[in-house]
Amino acid sequence: MSSLVKSDAEDFIDWWQHTVFYQIYPRSFKDSNGDGIGDLPGITSKLQYLAETGITATWLSPIFQSPMVDFGYDISDYRQIQPEYGTMEHFEQLIDKAYELGIKVILDFVPNHSSDEHEWFKKSAAREPGYEDYYVWVDPKIDENGDRQPPNNWQSVFYGSAWEWHEGRQQYYLHQFTKEQPDLNYRNPAVVQAMDDVILFWLNKGVAGFRIDAVNHMFEKESLEDEPLSGKTNDPLSYDYTTHIYTKDLPEVLEMVQHWRQLLDDFSSKHPEGPTRIMMTEAYAGLTTLADYYEDRNGVRGSQLPFNFHFITDVNGDSDARDFVYNVEKWLIYMPRGHAANWVMGNHDNPRVASRFGPSAVDAMNMLLMTLPGVAVTYNGEELGMEDYRDMPWEDTVDPPARNVGEQLFRNVSRDPERTPFQWNNASHAGFSEASKTWLPVHPNYPELNLEAQKAAPKSHYKVYKALIELRKSAIMRLGRFTIEPISRWVFAFKRSFANFDSIITVINVSDKEQLVNLSEFLNQPKKLVVEVAGVESAYQPGQFLAAIALSLAPHEGLVCRLV
């Protein structure tokens, strides 16, 4: 199939439509003051690294004031910086440095819930006038024994009931995540206005937009009906116990996304000297729902980039070429024309690329990510092929869902292994911190796997990644038409073509065995291939001529070639 990155109605590609968004997990990126926790001055000190790599946009996981029950996703003040990370002055210095280097900054915005230490929640619990309905409060259900029970069977994503009794208010409040993260009530116009004001506050600080966390959880059915059983588990406290038809993906969510899109568009119009301010949305949802986030059936636009998690949720190390092709094509088929595709290969909530697909597949997966049309989203460390520290001991584990399930099961659900500190060099704690102990332990493989070593090596994952970013600058990668096909069960290829440019071909072997393929039919011409980018373990070199009729690919090998 074919798709255009560029809308027929546009005469240029806006900054966000073809960029690489580099996600920084602040707590693990760089510690500047020796307390074992990454911080804003640490990020600022490493912005030059992003610029040298070719990154022009970064998304920062939450930096707002928080008790850190869920490491920043429980916010106690939306207009203050978490003291562990620095001050507002530090944030302003970061913005200034990023601007100087041509890097746009996106903030992680968490609207579904606040911390229970937020002033709004305290006032709401006390029924202070104007705040009574800021959160979702419900009277208890009384059982046949006269005992108090939650109003229904809704569960928390993090295990257990989604309802917590508040002794002071004598009601239950809803929390779809931890009990310290009460859900805000967006059916209350005062809450909507308060969050609009927060967005405008940070826009005026110079951010280029927001990544909206857990957006599809923002509304619940007011009738509070029990959700139907899923049949997946007999554990009534598991999130998989029910099908979440009353607590996720309600129509009002889309209306709120569209409301915020209008707010951002209005701000951009009033400040034309700055970039288009954008919204990226996180929702693990069905494809038709996500397509509507782009633009609904009436043409009303919402999120510029509804995150596409299919490379995380729908393919893995056991997938074959057809699975990869299917997951690429289905997004492009459902995405409304005139919008930018996006591809998320990893994030702070899921195992790393090297751990999902295997260390030998890192270069191939980055080739896939970087040569598809549209936006690429990279989680910090994926450019190095960092791996999950899955053997992290229980004593070092801090992730709430992992702690909730206990010592016997924590490794199955913990997100700590993919959140370990960035591996800068082979010094103590991988150059992340000079502290005696870091908030999470560094992966033990850091003496060999680190940025400094990869910069010095003749070939490295980092150098492959950097070469791919350089390739993305060409017009063909920004505007070229796109075709993808499975060449065999284990090999797929896709082509980018544009008038007056040599076509670019990406070919990937997803199996653990060598594959010999004939690309002649796919290319539809007897021309030769010239290697543009090859992986660390590849026998091929950039500039080498290859015959399309008989191309040998090593296990998990990817190649990016020019057709001549």
CA 141 from centre of chain: 38
How far apart are the C-alpha atoms of 176 and 113, rounded to whole Å?
8
DSSP H stretches of helix in 473-519: 475-479
Task: Enumerate residues 6+ apart whose C-beta is below 8 A from 171.
Answer: 137, 138, 139, 140, 165
Give phi and psi for 118, each to the nearest 5. -70, 145
Nearest Cα to Cα of residue 382 among 356, 401, 402 = 356
Catalytic (active-site) positions: 213, 282
Q: What is the dihedral of CA 474, 16, 388, 156, to 10 degrees?
A: -160
How far apart are the C-alpha atoms of 287 and 197, rounded to whole Å?
31
Q: Positive or negative CA dihedral for 194, 200, 205, 211?
A: positive
**Inter-residue contact 50 to 58 (CB < 8 Å):** yes
Q: Which run of H or of E encompasses 201?
A: helix 189-203
**Inter-residue contact 470 to 533 (CB < 8 Å):** no
Within 13 A of 523's CA, how many CA atoms are on the CB side?
Answer: 24
